[in-house]
Structure 1
């Protein structure tokens, strides 16, 4: 007698409830929540379970689905990847084609068109001349090494970015079934000379890109975006911003006093002094926007998901990763880096004195004699400075000078 099957053409037509109905030998009828019906072959390959779609019930009969499932099982027994074999039947593309598909697929998730253009420009300059026309399944770590060799020492940051992008293209090709396995590109660097190690600073957004970044940041409104915007407008550290509570603000005089215990200093002090921050117009407006996020159980400006706890610094870092905020060397910007953005703007684009910028950042003056004589908080002058930075960040003013 033949194998009894759980499914018949009549039972397939009658299946209405969402779920999976087994036919045996790895074949399943899948009914979605919307009532759509399709065939799925569930296989186990290399110890991992995978589902392979075999088509819609409206196009593939039960008999055809069983036949397709048997073909899939035969390929697995022969050590083949059914999905890869399906893609191979349609032809294996070259590196250039796969890169174009990857860029097109990710274009919507990238914050702006420039990132896609940078991706393509990097590949066109350094990769396509050697690998562009090669079939994607033929490329090896040794091929990637040959590409990197020319720029590894001369342009180390660019070389690391090129390696990452080659790896992303090859990984995407693997997930799409064009390659039978992944390529671990870090191994491509083992045969390359050691790159010089310089001083590593916190990755920071170039100040020239700040107005565009702020416009992107303000394109939607949520608590994490408001926290990052407030951090930028006040040039404060993330711990000071995320721990801020409403009692610290003098809204009438547009001042924020950060308690000493929440201020990080280069040298640990038993009793660090509080720091007064003059609030620029955009920072004051932001406090008004924050009113809708106030809760009865917390006085925090930026409450997190846990009751009585602030947002985490990781939340801001994740937001930056999503926004793809990168400096000109391609490194990921971090929240603390915006203090560097502010400091560089003061030096390069204004005539404000160094001492005022250092005071705004809460840095101690390097000269003990200078610090002893300068006991002023320079609040009024710092208010002018922060207002000028606000105008620059809004794209309404570029180069400014200290008013008399």
Structure 2
């Protein structure tokens, strides 16, 4: 039984120092609970506990001497029950004892009672604020382009509907409302935004800003109309690739045009090609060693270069110019992604550069059935197999990848390998490049 009573708490006074001035005074209730009276007469509750062998003094709230809390609202008043004990700023004696007992129990279990006290006090941000915080915390693990796209897409397509809502109040219905305007008109973007909304809400849950489960994927699918089939990157049928490359080789050389051709022959991503340097290329070994910094999976990758890819590079630049970026823009920096797209549009094509990876994969499946699918996936720098298979597969299957890429080069650009009957001789190609 505690030493204090309501009357004692109400009548508690500050102490007086040797000079006669009032000083803070503590009145003990027991089990580490004290009421502190400041020189001004203000009263507050304090709990003293041992945490990891050290004394900790934890403030619990002000003293509610008039019975504010349970007594003020009246027995059974719902307004009181809606306020969690740890969030009550003014406590009666009974409430202070209850709160102190809960925190003592947590301390004995090895938890930090101060952290537990403050857990429910965390300010829950709005979705827009959470987007900013998630971007700030996660961007160091992304490429600059991914970080920029993450924030821009959410600010444009999610914040108008979700931005002012608290992250702990967002469920499936709210996400559906945000996605509906773009779900069928911009299906690719809509799916990205849906994923990024999920990332923000997962980040919010990890920070303690929400406790509910993330919106259920099945509920989202049920609440949104069915998207049109497709939505993948527009790809050129692989049978049309040889004619396209032959036609492009017959035109004047430009960095963007040859970057597209190199992307096709290596089945590489646009960003990887735009950042390729001569220092990454070993023409003698016929390899392109790509650093982790330019790779989507953030893992270094070695591309085996076919005769066609090597011939394209050798024709594009003389030996004394093989330094730095291979496909540099007019200002000396990397080409923009749009510059490669523009090269395709100038050629009268509506596909994407990324779509040529799909063309390569289709060709490998249909025309190279004796080579395992895993080889083509590795050539695309995809992770293959289960986690267990990845742990045991120590080879990068380079010899098999070299055979596959060499066959792709002969198929896609026979004129560069000298095996076609009606070809553009390499010396004539080199001559045109020199005149650019």
Range class of TM-score, shorter chain: 0.3 to 0.5
Query: TM-score, structure 1 length as denominator?
Result: 0.45
Query: TM-score, structure 2 length as denominator?
Result: 0.41
Which of the two has higher C-alpha Rg? 2
Which gives a bigger RCO, structure 1 or 2 (Cα 8 Å, sep 6+)?
1
